[in-house]
Amino acid sequence: MHLIQQNLLDFMANNSIEGLTLREIGYEIGVDHPQKIQHHLNQLEKKGYLRKEEKGGGYITLDEPVKGIINLPLYGMAQCGHSELVDITATEKVSLPSKLFNITNPESMFLVQAQGISMNPRINDGDYILIKKQPQPDYQNQTCLVVHNDTAKIKKSC
């Protein structure tokens, strides 16, 4: 682990960084460039030592690092049932453990959020659906995401 990362973890173990600027955190651990603090906070999050709080933008330190965390883009909603226009730009990144979902190539994966109830009982309104990008559907799978005329739909047995 990089010395700055260890110093950040040590500082955060005894102090809250909530409300502190990157420059102030850097001053406390002897780093004079705020960009370095941001970079190493990002690295600690990627390594599973930190997790961003959902509200407030702070960080939660984890007792044990979570191994194999990847960040996948979340692309808005996909209809289950009747078609509607959906947002096809990534709205945020969602962290997932790659081993749990057997993800070996994160660049080929993304998430959408299900909207509608026609896929019940397996997929419910609001569920996150993990999608593997591929040029042709794999007919052995039971569901797939189809995009046609800027409309994304989750379909059974494509």
Per-residue model confidence as pLDDT tens digits over 26-39: 999 999 999 999 99
Is residue 131 within 8 Å of 72, Cβ to Cβ? Answer: no
Average pLDDT of the segment spanning 40-64: 73
CA dihedral 136, 137, 138, 141 (to 10 degrees): 170
Q: Work out the angle at residue 99's Cα, subtended by the Cα atoms of residues 51 and 122, and round it to the nearest 5 degrees.
A: 90
Report residue 46: phi and psi, to 5°.
-60, -35
3-state SS class at 120: coil
Conformation bin of residue 53: beta by default, left when phi > 0, alpha when psi is -120 to 50? beta
Burial 93-105 (b: 16+ CB within 10 A, else e): eeebebeeeebee
Can you give the pLDDT at residue 112? 79
Compute the distance between CA of residue 3 and CA of residue 153 in angstroms, rounded to an integer: 47
Can you give the pLDDT at residue 76? 67
Q: Where are the domains of the chain?
A: 3-61, 69-156
Which amino acid makes up residue 146?
V
Q: Which residue has the higher pLDDT, 91 or 143?
A: 91
Is residue 87 within 8 Å of 74, Cβ to Cβ? Answer: no
Angle between helices 22-29 and 34-46 (to 10 degrees): 90
Can you give the pLDDT at residue 125? 76
Compute the distance between CA of residue 6 and CA of residue 33 in angstroms, rounded to an integer: 17
- Calculate what percentage of the chain has a pLDDT beyond 70: 59
Average pLDDT of the segment spanning 67-94: 63
* Pairing of the two strands 109-115 and 128-132: antiparallel
CATH of 3-61, one of 3.40.50.2000, 3.40.50.300, 1.10.10.10, 3.30.160.40: 1.10.10.10
Average pLDDT of the segment spanning 74-86: 57
In the numeric block, the tokens 């593997």 are attached to 132
